[in-house]
Amino acid sequence: DAGVIQSPRHEVTEMGQEVTLRCKPISGHNSLFWYRQTMMRGLELLIYFNNNVPIDDSGMPEDRFSAKMPNASFSTLKIQPSEPRDSAVYFCASRLGQNQETQYFGPGTRLLVL
């Protein structure tokens, strides 16, 4: 299995631009999580989906952030417009099912907003 796949691995953009991060979970996994990691705030859960349905988006910082999961094999996290404080590493993780506790993380997308 290829594991969780994220793209791009690195993204540099200018303030105000739209940024789209992509994630392909492990095949057969029913839950998907988006996290953000910064030195100041550590690892924060932004949103998670069960069976493609958003369950909890309370961690999404503000309306500039949106996430979708149109099907079981693909999810996007969009930031529009981006700001320098959005600079962070964004991780996607997937889990086999709601009753499974272990999460499998992707390699992350390192985002720098200038």
Partner 1 sequence: SQQGEEDPQALSIQEGENATMNCSYKTSINNLQWYRQNSGRGLVHLILIRSNEREKHSGRLRVTLDTSKKSSSLLITASRAADTASYFCATAPTGTASKLTFGTGTRLQVTL
Instruction: Please identify which residue in 65, 79, 108, 111 interacts with partner 1, judged by CB under 8 A.
Output: 108
45 sits near partner 1 (criterion: CB under 8 A): yes
Q: Which is nearer to partner 1, 42 or 70 (CB)?
A: 42
The total of other beta-carbon atoms located within 10 Å of residue 28's CB is: 11
12 sits near partner 1 (criterion: CB under 8 A): no
CA distances from 96 to 80, 103, 104 (A): 30, 8, 9
Peptide bond into 81 cis (omega under 30): yes
101 sits near partner 1 (criterion: CB under 8 A): yes
Q: Are 111 and 9 in contact (CB under 8 A)?
A: no
102 sits near partner 1 (criterion: CB under 8 A): yes
104 sits near partner 1 (criterion: CB under 8 A): yes
Where on the chain is the footprint of partner 1 (CB under 8 A)?
4, 31, 42-45, 48, 50, 55-56, 91, 93, 98, 101-108
